[in-house]
Structure 1
Amino acid sequence: GRYPRVSRTNIQRLIKQGAITVNGRPTKASYEMCGGDIIEMVLPAPEPMEIVPEDIPISVVYEDEYLIGVNKQAGIVCHPANRHQTGTLANALAFYASRLSRCTHPFRPGIVHRLDKNTTGLMMVAKTDEAHWRLSLQFERRTIQKTYLAVVEGNPALDGDTIDAPIGVHPVVREKFAVMVRENKIDIGKPAVTHYEVLERFRGYALLKLMPKTGRTHQLRVHLSHIGHPIVGDTMYRGRPVSEHSLTGQGSYEILFDHHALHAWRLAFRHPITNKPMEVEAPFHPPLKKLMHILREHLHV
């Protein structure tokens, strides 16, 4: 018989896995069938269409009837993908909340916007479909004010500035992005604009407030590296990990954290149901709190 929902690629993979046999024996894709051959195929179980709830601790900084504000930890992806079917924020939310929006994708309940795996901080989650699409519309129209905090290497010359530099896929490393400017001509890239302010200065480091006006992938990380102030710990974009000893010359050599020091701090928006202006903030997690304590105690200017 025919199996219209099984692609040729999947059939070839099943043959390689030995899940398809001819006359009780493994076969090859190139085998030419003969009359009387008995073909048996063991189809894998279909992938679940529902998110699997998992008891993963999450930090909730805001909650009402329609929204949840989560302070995301580093090292956790937002929703299941090819390499991450479990252990995601979506799995944790499915366990935590009795109701989440379903208007985008069965594997992304409540997820209105995302943060990189190793970026910490505030994410707003929708409990109802109406709250979801109304909040999504604010993100799409860029009426939501997003504010990040980052600890960077070096001290910017200005107390504040705007980085206006287009971003595109890195020409060599597929997982990276880069500012796409060659000989003062814009190459293949999308417009990207970031405003920044210096909040605190330290010897060799600075705490910045970042306000992206566009939402390109890795935008803040790429822009800060581009101006010569990569984010602490962002090894992909020339940032270096730090330890207590590397910062102060004493104490532990163990690195403080294995992610970049970028934190989604605050979102200012209108409540998707009541239309009231809102500001929700998420504090630093312990690793970044420890970094700030060391900088303020030992390296303050």
Structure 2
Amino acid sequence: MSEPGLNARLGDDMSPPELSTTPSEFQVKARMEGKRLDAYLASRYTDYSRSVIQKLIDAQAVLINGQPTKASYRVRLNDEVRIWLPELGDDAPKPEDIPLEVIYEDEALTVVNKPPNMVVHPAKGNWSGTLVNALQFHYDTLSNVAGENRPGIVHRLDRDTTGLLIVAKDDLAHRKLSGYFEQRTIHKEYLALVYGVPTRDSDYVERHIGFHPTVREKMAIRLPEDGGKEATTFYEVLERFQGYAFVRCKPATGRTHQIRVHLTHVGHPILADKAYSGRERITLADLAGAQAADGEQVLIARQALHAHRLRFPHPLTQEDIDLTAPLPQDMSMTLEALRTHRRQG
């Protein structure tokens, strides 16, 4: 550390472990401008809780343009950020023999079909059983751009969202792919089952998204002055049922929980999305009522959201790559039950 006594100011709950002796340094990009400093750093360093980030700010382990500031500071374009992070208490992810469904693979990248109930990378409370643990077992080389706890990880899916996820095998491919995401040149399509029946065949939601004001695990529609960042989701109705719909979503931006928040905002939360719909499962009885021979059969017990399609230029050859992943079994079962018991007359 360049400043003596910094660890002491953090208090007993931050020591051990000690802070890193080498700070991380970077500039704020345009798309992050206006975000609260603590929220911005918590979204960038997801291995650390927001409370830990706030302690670092209070202890002057975060400098903006060479000066300490408050957690409520709104970051600006090209602000110079310097942060000393505490060492993580766990070692680098351990390889685990977890099966992977590989959709595409070459010398630069792999695309996998992520199953439900799998966290993408290790973090507090989830140090094993993650996609990264599986990748460490199956691949000898992965990119290091995102840090040792996220080898190969270019983007993420929520724990219970299934579907296509790109993994970079080297740093050059990783940087090119990250650039595609930032420039919004990667085409993404999701399939979802939702409550209610949209009146329009297609529409879009354009509402800023930020951290929920009271529930740390959720996101919400937020004004820019409250930390909300621009977000746009296009959707179209594929099938209508009595009280439900099957929709395709095309997010133009990539905010956390974006599709889940936007669909909830327009009155069509995703089925079995506990955080946003209040229900954590759908049974056959929910859809079939008295017609169900086995009413307690659980059709789906996680949000009915699937990353179905990715189209992007290859990071090395620029060849167009267009991939799809079929609906997982739980969503297929739910869709078939809707077709059987909830078809519109």
TM over 0.5: yes
Give, as a single letter, the amino acid of the residue that structure 2 aligns with 1:291.
T
Equivalent in 257, 271, 274 of residue 300 of structure 2: 257
Distance in 2, matches of 1:14 and 1:150, equals 42
2:99 is equivalent to residue 57 of structure 1: yes
Alignment of 1:112-123 (within 5 A): 112-123=154-165
Distance in 1, matches of 2:181 and 2:274, equals 29
Instruction: Find the residue that maps to 1:139 and give its secondary structure.
Output: helix
Distance in 2, matches of 1:198 and 1:15, equals 53
Distance in 1, matches of 2:155 and 2:13, equals 35
Classify 1:15/1:140 alpha carbon distance in 2 versus 1 (closer, same or farther; 3 Å): closer
Instruction: Find the residue that maps to 2:134 and give its secondary structure.
Output: helix
The residue that corresponds to 1:281 in the other structure is: 324
Classify 1:13/1:238 alpha carbon distance in 2 versus 1 (closer, same or farther; 3 Å): closer
Q: Do 2:282 and 2:301's aligned partners in 1 also have CA atoms closer than 8 Å?
A: no
Q: CA deviation at 1:61?
A: 1.3
Q: CA deviation at 1:194?
A: 0.7
Query: Normalized per residue, which structure has more helix?
Result: 2
The residue that corresponds to 2:312 in the other structure is: 269
The residue that corresponds to 2:178 in the other structure is: 136
**CA offsets 1:68-87 (integer angstroms, 9 cap, x no match):** 11111111111111211111
Unaligned stretches of 5+ residues in structure 2: 17-87
Instruction: Find the residue that maps to 1:256 and give its secondary structure.
Output: strand
The residue that corresponds to 2:194 in the other structure is: 152
Distance in 1, matches of 2:11 and 2:210, equals 37
Higher-Rg structure is: 1
The residue that corresponds to 1:200 in the other structure is: 239
Classify 1:5/1:283 alpha carbon distance in 2 versus 1 (closer, same or farther; 3 Å): farther
The residue that corresponds to 1:88 in the other structure is: 130
Give, as a single letter, the amino acid of the residue that structure 2 aligns with 1:97.
Y
TM-score (norm 1): 0.82
Q: CA deviation at 1:9?
A: 7.8
Distance in 1, matches of 2:264 and 2:14, equals 45
Alignment of 1:162-241 (within 5 A): 162-180=204-222, 188-238=227-277, 240=279, 241=281
Instruction: Find the residue that maps to 2:176 and give its secondary structure.
Output: helix
Q: Do 2:210 and 2:227's aligned partners in 1 also have CA atoms closer than 8 Å?
A: yes
The residue that corresponds to 1:22 in the other structure is: none
Give, as a single letter, the amino acid of the residue that structure 2 aligns with 1:282.
A
TM-score (norm 2): 0.72
Q: CA deviation at 1:49?
A: 4.5
The residue that corresponds to 1:40 in the other structure is: none
Distance in 2, matches of 1:105 and 1:14, equals 21
Classify 1:198/1:239 alpha carbon distance in 2 versus 1 (closer, same or farther; 3 Å): farther
Q: CA deviation at 1:5?
A: 11
2:68 is equivalent to residue 68 of structure 1: no
The residue that corresponds to 1:242 in the other structure is: 282
Aligned residues: 267
Q: CA deviation at 1:47?
A: 4.8
Distance in 2, matches of 1:141 and 1:13, equals 40
Instruction: Find the residue that maps to 2:300 and give its secondary structure.
Output: coil
Distance in 2, matches of 1:264 and 1:239, equals 22
Distance in 1, matches of 2:162 and 2:15, equals 43
**CA offsets 1:176-208 (integer angstroms, 9 cap, x no match):** 111136xxx986421111100001111111111
Looking at both structures, which has the greater relative contact order when contacts are Cα pairs under 8 Å and sequence separation is at least 6?
1
Distance in 1, matches of 2:320 and 2:216, equals 40
Q: CA deviation at 1:258?
A: 2.1
2:139 is equivalent to residue 100 of structure 1: no
Give, as a single letter, the amino acid of the residue that structure 1 aligns with 2:264.
S
Give, as a single letter, the amino acid of the residue that structure 2 aligns with 1:51.
P
Q: CA deviation at 1:283?
A: 1.4
Q: Do 2:193 and 2:304's aligned partners in 1 also have CA atoms closer than 8 Å?
A: yes
Distance in 2, matches of 1:180 and 1:212, equals 18
Give, as a single letter, the amino acid of the residue that structure 2 aligns with 1:204.
G
Unaligned stretches of 5+ residues in structure 1: 17-45
Q: CA deviation at 1:103?
A: 2.4
Distance in 2, matches of 1:211 and 1:120, equals 15
Q: Do 1:153 and 1:239's aligned partners in 2 also have CA atoms closer than 8 Å?
A: no
Q: Do 1:243 and 1:255's aligned partners in 2 also have CA atoms closer than 8 Å?
A: yes
